[in-house]
Structure 1
Amino acid sequence: MLEQKYIDFLVERFLAYVKIDTQSDPFIKSFPSTEKQKNLAEVLVSDLKRIGIKEVELDQNGYVYATVESNSEKTTVPKVMFCSHMDTSPDCSGKDVKPIIHVNYQGEDLVLPDDPSVILKSQNHPDLPNQIGNDIITASGTTLLGADNKAGLAEIMTAMKFLVENPEIKHGDIKVLFTPDEEVGRGTEKVDLDKLGADFGYTIDGETLGLVENETFSADGVEVIIKGVSTHPGFAKDKLQNAIKIGSEIIAKLPKNELSPETTSGKEGFIHPTDFVGGQEECSLHFIIRDFETDGLKQKEDFLERICQEVLENYPESSFEFNVTEQYRNMKEVLDVHPEVSENAVEAVRRAGVSPKLQSIRGGTDGSRLSFMGLPCPNIFAGEHAFHSKEEWVSVQDMSKAVEVIINLAQIWEEKA
């Protein structure tokens, strides 16, 4: 069990990190998408140096790299990386976060004071009944909390502090990576793997206590650009072909009872429109396409393109572009080749006194892209819940267990070398 001084440090750093606004922006092409993410990056660099790590760098793209040097006599210990992201979701405000600690939770509804209509109820949060006696951290009701993924940042920071201060715990080189823009699908876009120098890695960005996630969606983004025919509405008869209406017809043709996030679960994929912008002459529709099988992505994209073609047949003077962008792929394809990476994570959870749960995630992490870039990287729980919403929460005790798992992993890789 983690000593109280490390738990206090963990909570202190988490509360400090969530107060820094790091919301990313999917519509800005610069990198990182928002400069304010670097405000947190600078704090993290200072914290890493303050706990005694000498090799720390913030690069021009907003990535934080650090190394805790090996203290093992073995020369064959793999270099293991721990990664969390600094940005918070564009879906909910992350400005002026006011974190609240609900000490010794006893199962009551948690009414958030700055907006009493925001209430955390156990029937809406399945893991809350497992938190009796724990300390729950929420925001105040008007913002998200930022546990996704600042819980991971604080957990990695605390684990590194523990390893620096307890040299009797043997480990190889431990690499730390903090990334920007994960929430907008660009978290690994400019990462320098040669500089990082890791052999295997773990993202600390998962939900429920004990989870080890070795499988994700495969993911693409689709942009449909519709070019209509614009004219003065007073003289539009038989001339106007309104791009907004054409786009609306495409959306209306999507299935109502299948192939959407709200109608799927488990291993079922979906087509999800995320925004619709423009005017009557030209507009664009953006979709995210998800499936656990890469072939399933292509099938869904072909289906969506056929809908576009069918709709545009009724508008002979109009046209559309259909642009597909690869986002990430199911990391299980890579992790199955390196089973020891997930196996060590399961053992690390077990050593923390927690029952491990190896499962897939209906989403993705930086680890998805990193795995296909040559750095096998499953995802481990950080304790965060109700992501991207004003009801987001995390428990101090679950965060503490995540710290133990990181420490255990450092030991396990050294022991098995």
Structure 2
Amino acid sequence: MPMDKYAYTVTERFLRYVQIDTQSDPLSRTFPSTAKQKNLSALLVRELQEIGITDAMTDEYGYVYATIPATTSKDVPVICLCAHMDTAPDCSGANVKPIIHKSYDGSDIVLPDDTTQVIRAKDHPYLAGKTGDDIITASGKTLLGADNKAGVAEIMDAAQYLLQHPEIRHGKIRILFTPDEEVGRGVEHVNMEQLGAQFGYTLDGGELGSLEDETFSADGVKISITGISVHPGTAKDKMVSAIKVAAAIVDELPKGILSPETTEDRQGFIHPVRIEGMVEKAEIDFIIRDFTTAELEGHEFYLRKLMETVLERYPGAGATFEVKEQYRNMKEVLDKYPQVVTNAEEAIRRAGIDPLRMSIRGGTDGARLSFMGLPCPNIFTGEMALHSKHEYVSVQDMQKAVDTIVHLVQVWEERS
């Protein structure tokens, strides 16, 4: 069924959701990491119930589960549509004031609450190509939250459309909204048996038409340094500052390679994301990224040797090196189920878009879900300039994502 006459609700939903602060906290030990994420969970359950989904619910962890019943008698795999509710810790998500810039004219966008924040077309080639679209930004003091509330709003609008049009044939669809994706814990407590899906799609990609079937493999590394604390007045030949050891390790990191600011495409990196300490003890948290796990392990070997070399210059200091697996390249799983990607490509084409097969220099909930038994590539949402005050999204891109979801479930039904 053509959707050109449909009165989309994706924009009004998006504007509503971004005004709810759901920023996650990487230092928290609770789940979800911030209780305020549950405020959006509760709202989404109410809205799902209002559009007719009777089993919509949220659990103690803040996950939202819901079902769109099948409208076909064919044996169609159960498909999960997933997006995350939290926003990144990198930039404030409190008191977001979304602004719609109607019929964008291609010029720089000055954000009114902080006029030093300017989204310059020359710095954002994708935005420069969106002349005529309605562009949503924040006001200059916060991120927008398109990552990933655009995906949440798109799934919600597609669900409403499908429920209003039972003549569209599709199998059973499960909806999953997750907390804490931005701190790497988004699917930590997903009840896979309760979810009951065979294949899935995250709606967490960027530019129109993009379909991502490959992610980084990812580990976290924590270096914990011990020094010797002595009163600075009597510290000569006695004190060993853990702070200085930590600073030396960071300073020894390569400048032209293996860093996010100097790599692109399929190049991996070693990236310090947190440093904290006193003279007696300091910690550095790193994220290690590469598309192949073997290279990931090579980067960790390099970092460990760098740490050991620095320690030789500081007699009396010690350090431990702890590696924690975060996620693995989902392509290892998706290549075993090619129909998951080819069905999505067909859906994108039916929405009138050329599909763009891409790799993610990052990860999604889908990376971990794929290794938990739910092969799960990533579909575009329109979200751009993520984790920053310059974040933006095109209304028209969001509408095309809604179209793609509707076509996607029909493709699965037809090909089953």
User: TM-score under structure 2 normalisation?
Assistant: 0.99
Amino acid at match of 1:80: I
Amino acid at match of 2:104: Y
8 Å Cα contact 1:103/1:134 also seen in 2: yes
5+ residue gaps in structure 2? none
- Output the CA distance in 2 between the equivalents of 1:269 and 1:44: 37
For 1:140, the equivalent position in structure 2 comes to 139
For 1:195, the equivalent position in structure 2 comes to 194
Structure 1 position 237, deviation (Å): 1.0
Find the residue that maps to 1:371 and give its secondary structure.
helix
Residue 164, structure 1, aligned to residue 160, structure 2 = no
Find the residue that maps to 1:153 and give its secondary structure.
helix
Amino acid at match of 2:174: K
Find the residue that maps to 1:248 and give its secondary structure.
helix
- Output the CA distance in 2 between the equivalents of 1:137 and 1:359: 24
* Pairing of 1:117-128 with structure 2 (within 5 A): 117-128=116-127
* Pairing of 1:68-83 with structure 2 (within 5 A): 68-74=68-74, 76-83=75-82
- Output the CA distance in 2 between the equivalents of 1:272 and 1:397: 35
| Distance change (3 Å), C-alpha of 1:393 and 1:301 | same
For 1:6, the equivalent position in structure 2 comes to 7
For 1:48, the equivalent position in structure 2 comes to 48
Structure 1 position 73, deviation (Å): 1.4
For 1:360, the equivalent position in structure 2 comes to 359
For 1:283, the equivalent position in structure 2 comes to 282
Structure 1 position 52, deviation (Å): 0.7
- Output the CA distance in 1 between the equivalents of 2:128 and 2:5: 24
Find the residue that maps to 1:159 and give its secondary structure.
helix
Structure 1 position 315, deviation (Å): 2.5
For 1:63, the equivalent position in structure 2 comes to 63
Structure 1 position 325, deviation (Å): 0.7
Structure 1 position 5, deviation (Å): 5.0
Amino acid at match of 1:262: E
CA displacement 1:12-64 (0-9 Å, x = unmatched): 11000000000000000110000000000000001110111111110000100
Amino acid at match of 2:15: L
CA displacement 1:333-382 (0-9 Å, x = unmatched): 00000000001111000000001001101010000000011100000000
For 1:229, the equivalent position in structure 2 comes to 228
- Output the CA distance in 2 between the equivalents of 1:367 and 1:123: 32
- Output the CA distance in 2 between the equivalents of 1:126 and 1:381: 17
Residue 31, structure 1, aligned to residue 11, structure 2 = no
Amino acid at match of 2:3: L
* Pairing of 1:182-261 with structure 2 (within 5 A): 182-261=181-260
- Output the CA distance in 2 between the equivalents of 1:48 and 1:273: 40
8 Å Cα contact 1:6/1:158 also seen in 2: no
Find the residue that maps to 1:21 and give its secondary structure.
coil
For 2:98, the equivalent position in structure 1 comes to 99
Structure 1 position 408, deviation (Å): 0.7
Amino acid at match of 1:14: F
- Output the CA distance in 1 between the equivalents of 2:213 and 2:7: 29
Amino acid at match of 2:244: K
Identity of aligned residues (%): 58
- Output the CA distance in 2 between the equivalents of 1:273 and 1:161: 43
8 Å Cα contact 1:250/1:308 also seen in 2: yes
Which moved further from structure 2: 205-214 or 121-130? 121-130
- Output the CA distance in 1 between the equivalents of 2:4 and 2:148: 23
For 2:304, the equivalent position in structure 1 comes to 305
Structure 1 position 4, deviation (Å): 5.5
Amino acid at match of 2:41: A
Give RMSD over aligned pairs.
0.8
**Corresponding residue pairs, total:** 415
Amino acid at match of 1:6: A
- Output the CA distance in 2 between the equivalents of 1:3 and 1:29: 46
Residue 328, structure 1, aligned to residue 334, structure 2 = no
Amino acid at match of 2:124: H
CA displacement 1:261-293 (0-9 Å, x = unmatched): 011001000000011101010010000000000
Structure 1 position 130, deviation (Å): 2.0
Which moved further from structure 2: 290-299 or 316-325? 316-325
Find the residue that maps to 1:204 and give its secondary structure.
strand
Structure 1 position 2, deviation (Å): 3.1
Structure 1 position 3, deviation (Å): 4.6
CA displacement 1:84-112 (0-9 Å, x = unmatched): 00000000000000000001111121111
